Amino acid sequence: MSAIPYTVEVRPDTGLNNGKIAIWLFLASEVMLFGALFASYVMLRVGATTWPPGATYLNIPLATVNTVVLIGSSVTMVLAWASLVKGEFSRFRLFLGITILCGLVFLVIKYFEYSAKFHHGYLPATNTFLAIYFTLTGLHGLHVIGGMAVNAYLWGPGSALWRTDRQHFTNRVENAGLFWHLVDLVWIFLFPILYLL
Residues of the shown chain interacting with other proteins in the complex, contacts defined by CB under 8 A = 14-16, 20-21, 24-25, 28-29, 31-32, 35-36, 38-40, 42-43, 46-47, 60, 64, 67-68, 71-72, 74-75, 77-79, 82, 85-90, 162-167, 177-178, 181-182, 184-185, 188-189, 191-193, 196-197
Min dist CB 82 to other proteins, Å, is 5
Nearest to 107 by CA among 140, 83, 130: 140
- Give whichever of 115 and 154 is closer to other proteins, judged by the CB atom: 154
Say how far apart CA 26 and CA 43 lie, in whole Å.
Answer: 26
- Give whichever of 134 and 179 is closer to other proteins, judged by the CB atom: 179
Distance in Å from the first CA to the final CA of the chain: 53
Min dist CB 165 to other proteins, Å, is 6
Min dist CB 77 to other proteins, Å, is 8
- Give whichever of 72 and 124 is closer to other proteins, judged by the CB atom: 72
Enter the DSSP assignment of 187.
H
Min dist CB 183 to other proteins, Å, is 10
Nearest to 70 by CA among 107, 113, 33, 37: 107
- Give whichever of 68 and 108 is closer to other proteins, judged by the CB atom: 68
Task: Tell me the DSSP string of 64-127.
Answer: HHHHHHHHHHHHHHHHHHHHHHTT-HHHHHHHHHHHHHHHHHHHHHHHHHHHHHHHTT--TTT-
Min dist CB 126 to other proteins, Å, is 22
